[in-house]
Amino acid sequence: MSDLKCPRCAVELQAADQASLCPQCEGCWFDSRVLNQVLHGPSLESSPFAATLQAEDHGVDLESPVKCPVCDKVLARFEYGGNSRVFLDSCSEHGVWLDDGELGGLLKYLSRENRRYERGPRHKPVPGGFAGWLGSLFRSRARR
């Protein structure tokens, strides 16, 4: 990962925990597999990635397309998960670029999705499933 330049500000990226960080704009370059491990791994609050969790204004244009620091091809922009409102830049061959704050945005999104999954369905399950529900329906009508 050495000798890679930041696709936003052209500063040399610094190696950190299987990824590369820009010391100027706090963007991160990840191999796609490593990003998944980081997102589902232990807390990042005391890691080299801590500074990248909250977005700050570094005076860098975040709207223009960026190029892969490995092959120099324009990175494809996509919304993580299709509904996260976090947009990443990806090279299908080499990895993913996250601007400052996007890693924190991904962690918040995954936390929300996990809570939604843990809550499960909004209705209370009826003991006995469908047969129990059907029996309770007939019993309630018989009481009338």
pLDDT tens figures, 72-126: 999 999 998 888 889 999 999 999 999 999 998 988 898 888 776 665 555 555 4
Q: Does a structural domain hold residue 9?
A: no
Q: Using alpha carbons only, what angle is made at residue 80 by residues 75 and 86, rounded to the nearest 5 degrees?
A: 90
Nearest CA to 52 out of 124, 13, 105 is that of 105
Q: What is the pLDDT of residues 31-46, one digit of tens each?
A: 878 888 887 776 676 6
Q: Does a structural domain hold residue 28?
A: yes
What's the number of domains the chain is made of?
1
Rounded-to-integer distance, Cα 79 and Cα 84, Å: 7
Q: Does a structural domain hold residue 100?
A: yes
Q: Does a structural domain hold residue 2?
A: no
What angle in degrees, to the nearest 10, is found between the helix axes of 102-119 and 32-39? 60
- Give the residue numbers spanning the domain of 82: 14-143
Q: Does a structural domain hold residue 123?
A: yes
* Tokens (6 digits) for 111: 């936390």
> pTM of the prediction?
0.71
